[in-house]
Amino acid sequence: MLEEQLAIVTGLWATPDGATFSFEGDHYSLLDAPALPKPAQSTIPVIVGGGGPRRTPQLAARYATEFNIGFVDEATVADKFANVRAVCLEEERDPDTLSLSVALPTVVAEDAATLRRRCEAVGIDPDSPHDARLVGTPDKATAKIERLRASGASRIYLQTIDLTDLDHLDLIARDVIARVR
């Protein structure tokens, strides 16, 4: 069903102004749809994300402008990126035309006590491994972002759960984002 939805959305958006779009699938059908409204962007903004080994990368290679993997360790990110790039080649798509991104729960602090407090406030065990998260000092967070970039990530979504902790957001903006731009 998702593949049909992606085919319809991308087909509608790619249909020239004044033309119509038709689609016949197992779950959906359109006949001479006017293909309006169009997205504001010139590139169709479709993000496909997930960790499935075959279907998700295939959908991303066929329909997406961006492939996202979230909440996994760095080795898994590298494996998933390599896999989706290989599937792009199978689908006769240039892998460099697919942006790669990562989503990570993010907790940053300059000292251990503040890090512990921020982790506990959002339900993260401060003593557990943080391989699938961005947790630590600004230096540690920046280093992890650089490693993810080296794996191919062109965009990294930092999930900050406690939006009331404005000092946390300021710290991320000042001491993490500013360094990796």
pLDDT digits (tens, 9 = 90+) for 93-114: 999 999 999 999 999 999 999 9
Q: What confidence score (pLDDT) does residue 35 get?
A: 87
Looking at residues 18-38, what average pLDDT do you find? Answer: 93
pLDDT for residue 72 is more than 80: yes
**Does the pTM exceed 0.75?**
yes
Domain ranges of the chain: 1-42, 46-180
Q: Can you tell me the distance from the alpha carbon of 15 to that of 32, in angstroms, rounded to the nearest whole number?
A: 11
How, if at all, do strands 29-33 and 47-49 pair? unpaired
Q: What confidence score (pLDDT) does residue 37 get?
A: 86
102, β-bridge pairs: 69, 156
Between 3.30.70.250, 3.90.1010.10, 3.40.50.2300, 3.20.20.30, what CATH number should domain 46-180 receive? 3.20.20.30
Cβ neighbourhood burial of 159 (10 Å; 0-12, 13-18, 19+): middle
